[in-house]
Amino acid sequence: MTTAQELDDRYGRTRRRRLPWIIGIVLAVVVVGYFSWSTITQSMNSVDADDLGFEVTDEHSVEVRFQVSGVAGKDVACAIEALDEEFGVVGWKVVEIPASEAHSRALTEQVKTVAEATTGLVNSCWVA
């Protein structure tokens, strides 16, 4: 007569070890938690900038209108560029925008140029 242990050995039924499963689950929870927190933190500090238009004032300046949205209560900085007809940078300016409780704000900035610009735009914005 065979014992239960002999049958388990014959048919590959062994006691499952729970420790590796517990460690794996804990690691998975930690990794998911880390990436979730990183995503939330990054989205809280993201700034969106939209170009609203530009006007070439004269051959040495351009006026750029843009909207900044995404952060309230934090200082923001934006890099504004003026480009010529070959898309070369002929002027740029970093604008520091003080904190406000508004979610989005429309702004206008004057950018000095070394040659006549054909366009003005916001390159990027970030939390200062």
Helix (H) or strand (E) holding 64: strand 61-69
Fold of 48-127: Immunoglobulin-like (2.60.40)
pTM value surpassing 0.85: no
CA distances from 6 to 3, 9, 11, 16, 28 (A): 5, 5, 9, 16, 36
CB 91 within 8 A of CB 82: yes
Q: Each residue's pLDDT tens digit in the chain (128 positions)?
A: 678 888 877 787 766 677 888 899 999 999 999 999 988 887 777 889 999 999 999 999 999 999 999 877 889 999 999 999 999 999 999 999 998 888 889 999 999 999 999 999 999 999 88
Long-range contacts, stretch 39-46, CB < 8 angstroms, 24+ apart: 44/71, 45/71, 45/74, 45/127, 46/70, 46/71
DSSP 33: H
Domain boundaries, the chain: 4-44, 48-127
d(CA 84, CA 119) in angstroms, rounded, equals 7
